Structure 1
Amino acid sequence: MEINTRMEISAPASEIFDAFVNPEKIGNFWFSNSSERWEKGKTIILSYEEFEANVPIQIMDIRENRRILLTWGPISDERAVTMSFTQVDEKTIVEVKEVGFQEYERLLTDPVLAEVRTYEYEEIINNLMGGKGGWTFVLACLKAYLENGVTSLRTGLLR
């Protein structure tokens, strides 16, 4: 299973790439902060101060100004996230693809788990839709930050 989200942002790919990997910028649109600059092979801790949460991510690959590949999530259901940056004139198309969700897929397709599936179906769909909504919100906050200097949008989301 996968989640795909795309958005056009009026900024060069280099500026968008730097907003993600630079710990001094990420707090303007996504997590409160990042433990360090993102580089291939590093484990980074992203913090959400508003929710008192820390999220470890592993940077699997980076192609400067073009792509970031990271993994996150529980070991039993680790997910891979690819962020791609395609510049077209003065704009950049940002695409986020998150793949994984093996546990959800197993619950939805294993006939032995039909009873569990009925019970958990709504939760699974809500989590997948929440992931899509989450990436849409991240990209909207990034767009507001880079195009208009808005840095407070990310803190307005309520649980």
Structure 2
Amino acid sequence: MVELVAKAKMPIRCTATQAFDAFVQPDRITSFWLKSASAPLGPGAQVEWQFMVAGASECVNVTAFERPRHIAFTWTGSGLFVDISLVEQQGGMTVVGVEVRGFDGDDAMDQIVNATEGFSIVLCDLKVFLESGRPANLVRDKAALIERTRDA
């Protein structure tokens, strides 16, 4: 059986350390992706994340932490495994890649599409945030759309 993997990748004009810290530090990750994070990510950390969609949360269990190149974690509620790689390129560019695994069930393909779309939006917002100093509010706007659709 073929493993189902959602993937997203984005070049960002920043150092790998800057991109890494944006995912690790609560004051940074809440600038572009999350509503709140209970603590910084670190080796073996368990952190509660509240997403911008009302009621959406996950407990993050960090499984790999190699500053500034790699962060991996499981979302304990969904069982999904998220792997974030950061590869610094010449010219002040870092390629941030995300792969998500662990999809199953009859709606696995829908889950993959949603994860790919979601992480693409997160990486676009991260790019704008790190390159301009402020988020584009793409994640916030998508969360509002999800809430409106859910309420309809």
TM-score range, shorter chain: 0.7 to 0.9
Residue 72 of structure 2: which of 69, 75, 89 is its match? Answer: 69
8 Å Cα contact 1:72-1:80 kept in structure 2: yes
State how far apart, in whole Å, the 1-side matches of 2:119 and 2:54 are. Answer: 17
Aligned pairs, number: 139
Cα deviations by residue, 1:40-64 (Å, 9 ceiling, x for unpaired): 1111001125413321110011000
Cα deviations by residue, 1:102-154 (Å, 9 ceiling, x for unpaired): x23xxxxxxxxxxxxxxx4xx44322211100010010010010011233512
* Structure 2 stretches lacking a partner, 5+ long: 147-152
* Structure 1 stretches lacking a partner, 5+ long: 105-119
Q: 1:124 to 1:69 in 2, by over 3 A?
A: closer
Cα deviations by residue, 1:15-46 (Å, 9 ceiling, x for unpaired): 00000000111011111121111111111001
Structure (1 or 2) with the greater helix fraction: 1
TM-superposed deviation, 1:80: 1.2
Could you tell me which residue of structure 1 aligns to residue 150 of structure 2?
A: none
State how far apart, in whole Å, the 2-side matches of 1:55 and 1:126 are. Answer: 19
Residue 63 of structure 2: which of 49, 55, 60 is its match? Answer: 60
8 Å Cα contact 2:128-2:136 kept in structure 1: no
Structure 2 matches for 1:3-152, cutoff 5 A?
A: 3-74=6-77, 78-89=79-90, 90-101=92-103, 103-104=104-105, 120=106, 123-151=107-135
Percent identity of the aligned residues?
Answer: 25
The TM-score, its normalising length taken from structure 2, stands at 0.85
The TM-score, its normalising length taken from structure 1, stands at 0.81
- State the 4+ residue runs in structure 1 displaced beyond 6 angstroms: none
Rg larger in structure: 1
State how far apart, in whole Å, the 2-side matches of 1:124 and 1:79 are. Answer: 12
